[in-house]
Amino acid sequence: MAPAKVLSVVGARPQFVKAAAVSRAMAAEPRLAEVMIHTGQHFDREMSAVFFDELAIPPPAINLGIAGGGHGAMTGRMLEALERVMLAERPALVLIYGDTNSTLAGALAAAKLHLPVAHVEAGLRSFNRRMPEEINRVLADHLSALLFCPTPTAVANLAREGITAGVHDVGDVMYDATLHAAARARTDVIDRLGLAPGEYLVLTLHRAENVDDPARLAALLDYVRDLAAGRTVVFPVHPRTRKALAGGEDALAGLTTCAPLGYLDMHRLLADAALVATDSGGLQKEAYFHRVSVVTLREETEWVETVEAGWNRLWRAPDYAPRREIDAYGDGRAAEAIVARIAAAL
Ligand code: UD1
């Protein structure tokens, strides 16, 4: 029997990391054949191609080249183009990742064509509907037939919304990716940036709610400068943040800035960091995978386990909870579990 065709939709940086783990497992499953579509949402070499190279992800079959514009325009253009691709490819299932505009467009295009949707990283909630990501993940979950949750908390979130069928707690594919790639992360980034191991902070900021308002962005940068107490702060600057800072680069005084880092450089940096300050979802856990503490530069987090276990605190919280190990993220074989469930379902 011919293998069942799975059409995966990726487009933004965190999705490349998740897709790397799942694609590798899918390549080893003879019952499935993957066709990967890149929406084009992220297009700079250091936001996209570097991940395909470093994580050995097969190049996407199609890159739609859709980036920028407002949420409606970007998502609408993706929806139109993805529908066309899905009609031509006729997949047995559409696989989507995370919570970006590419995720929502993939889910919506597939659901309207009556194609089953599988969502990797289902059930995460910030309970803040002002975040575009929250809208994207709620809608993607409600359109999905298979919901692959990274944690028991995510399963409980779905149950609260009445979603119990097709829900599987498989563990976190980002943990799989870390185990696979971080062991090989022997890059020269520490020397290149002139860092002393154990004595620097890693900072990332890219959420619309943090960077689009100059006063909020300046307040967060001041906060991190205080937190560093004289230590070096390494700040790889996301393109959205770079644009927001245009003309106001004074706000970066005293920080060691660089272009966005590849996956291996970032993991090398995390391994020897004193502390991470971030508004990224993925980095909150990746820091924990390296047993480094995090300050989350947001008012809430989806990864509540990291806070409860004392490895993460919200920036306005006075202190960390007592520290313990976290067993919620699975055994590093989430991708295999996802692929097995998909193969069984088709
Ligand atoms: C998107 C996701 C967010 C995810 C993040 C990871 C949505 C709503 N948000 O946010 O959930 O955490 O990706 O990075 O989907 N740009 C470049 N070069 C690039 C990529 C983007 O210049 O390679 C520019 C875009 O043209 C745009 C801005 O940066 O002007 C923001 O990009 P966009 O894709 O809208 O959202 P992100 O902030 O990256």
What backbone phi and psi angles, to 5 degrees, belong to 43? -135, -20
Is 68's C-beta closer than 6 angstroms to any atom of ligand 1?
Answer: yes
Euclidean distance between CA atoms 104 and 97, whole angstroms: 9
Q: How many residues does the chain have?
A: 346
> What residue owns the CA closest to ligand 1's atom 2?
100
Do 199 and 231 touch, CB atoms closer than 8 A? Answer: yes
Total-model pTM: 0.97
Q: List the beta strands (DSSP E) in the chain.
A: 4-10, 32-38, 62-63, 93-97, 117-120, 146-149, 167-169, 200-204, 232-236, 256-258, 275-278, 294-296, 312-314
Q: End-to-end CA distance of the chain: give it in Å, rounded.
A: 12
How many C-beta neighbours within 10 Å does residue 69 have?
A: 12
Cα distances (angstroms) measured from residue 113 to each of 6, 73, 104, 230: 15, 21, 14, 56
Provide the edge-to-edge strand list for the sheet that holds 294-296: 256-258, 232-236, 200-204, 275-278, 294-296, 312-314
Q: Quote the tokens at residue 162.
A: 């009445």
Going from the Cα of 291 to the center of ligand 1, the distance in angstroms, rounded, reads: 28
Selected catalytic residue, list 206, 238, 267, 290: 206
Going from the Cα of 240 to the center of ligand 1, the distance in angstroms, rounded, reads: 6
Going from the Cα of 100 to the center of ligand 1, the distance in angstroms, rounded, reads: 9
**Average pLDDT per run of 10 along the chain, which is 346 residues long?**
95 97 97 98 98 94 97 98 98 98 98 98 97 98 98 98 98 96 83 96 97 96 97 98 94 96 95 97 97 98 98 97 97 97 97
Euclidean distance between CA atoms 226 and 292, whole angstroms: 19
pLDDT at 181: 80
